[in-house]
Structure 1
Amino acid sequence: MAFTTESHPGVHADVPAAARGFVFNHSMLRVKDPAVSLGFYTGVMGMRVLRKLDFPEMKFSLYFLAKLEEGAAVPDDVAARTRWTFGREGVLELTHNWGTESDPAFRYHDGNAQPQGFGHICFSVPDLKAAVDWFDENQVPFVKRPEQGRMKDVAFIKDPDGYWIEIVQADLLGQLGQS
């Protein structure tokens, strides 16, 4: 029998028929200055901006980013690209409320200070050491380096708004959480 899910209290063994076809599309982070955040996510993390949507009446903009495979067939037509963006997996939405970039005291809660809530997003990388070197080269602040703490081979960095990003190398984590 093929794997479908681990069994834990509260877990449903079968996917409800009504939920078949659902796709986890995106997570949203609010950002103070889109130019700074877009610079980080495209220039350091290698993401591409798929769509920007402006809502002048509500004074905010949405930027949808994703990691794209080399040669990915992304529609040029704006309407088609918008539909394509909302149908794929693993999208990051950056929301900019206009004016926050010009307020020096403005900050978003990162979810890791009290009261805790949201924790982090995660990127899997092919080479953790090379990624750490790249982050150092780009002066990205670390919350935790891979060799620190009891959980080895896992790093946490911060984006320009202070959100935590977990950095993992999948083939190093086979024994994670096993004593």
Structure 2
Amino acid sequence: MAQLLHTMFRVANLDKSIAFYTNVLGMKLLRQVENKDYKYTLAFVGYGKENEGHAVIELTYNWGESNYDHGTAFGHIALGVNDIYIACDKIRAAGGKISREPGPVLGGSTHIAFVTDPDGYKVELIQQN
């Protein structure tokens, strides 16, 4: 059986992205690896470690790159939260950008919201209870 380990995002400003995922979304910086020969730095953030069964996010900073095209295929990642309204208030208070206010999904009853990270990636919040 396989296990989902991580999703990778290329980022323009590693410090700003780490701050967003840790300070705004409450993840932990799990590890950071710098490769001087190939000029990139990786930072892994998440709510728990991969070797403990948690999927994490790999933030990849290619030195000197500041602009990426997200394309039209990628949509978003999703996080389950206990209270979407409180989560959005906390995200807003921490300086995060709510790009879709919390409320029921169109044609359904599940409450969702969207947050945009510093590089424009979308993070969906889904009410879990």
TM-score by length of 1: 0.64
In structure 1, C-alpha distance between the alignment counterparts of 2:76 and 2:105, rounded to whole Å: 17
Q: Corresponding residue for 2:11?
A: 31
Query: 5 Å matches for 1:69-84?
Result: none
Matched, 1:165 2:102: no
Question: Which structure: greater strand fraction?
Answer: 2
Give the share of equivalent positions with the same residue, in percent: 34
Which residue, 48, 55, 62 being the options, matches 1:90?
A: 55
In structure 2, C-alpha distance between the alignment counterparts of 1:53 and 1:144, rounded to whole Å: 33
Q: Corresponding residue for 1:137?
A: 93
How many residue pairs are counted as aligned between the two chains? 127
- Listed as ranges, the gaps of 5+ residues in structure 2 are none
Give the match's secondary structure for 1:135: helix
- Listed as ranges, the gaps of 5+ residues in structure 1 are 1-19, 69-83, 101-105, 172-179
Q: CA deviation at 1:142?
A: 2.4
Query: 5 Å matches for 1:1-150?
Result: 20=1, 22-68=2-48, 85=50, 88-100=53-65, 106-111=66-71, 116-147=72-103, 150=106
**Aligned-residue RMSD, C-alpha:** 2.0
Which fold has the larger relative contact order, with Cα–Cα distance below 8 Å and residues 6 or more apart in sequence? 2
| AA at the equivalent of 1:52 | Q
Give the match's secondary structure for 2:103: coil
Q: CA deviation at 1:87?
A: 6.6
Superposed structure 1 runs of 4+ greater than 6 Å apart: none
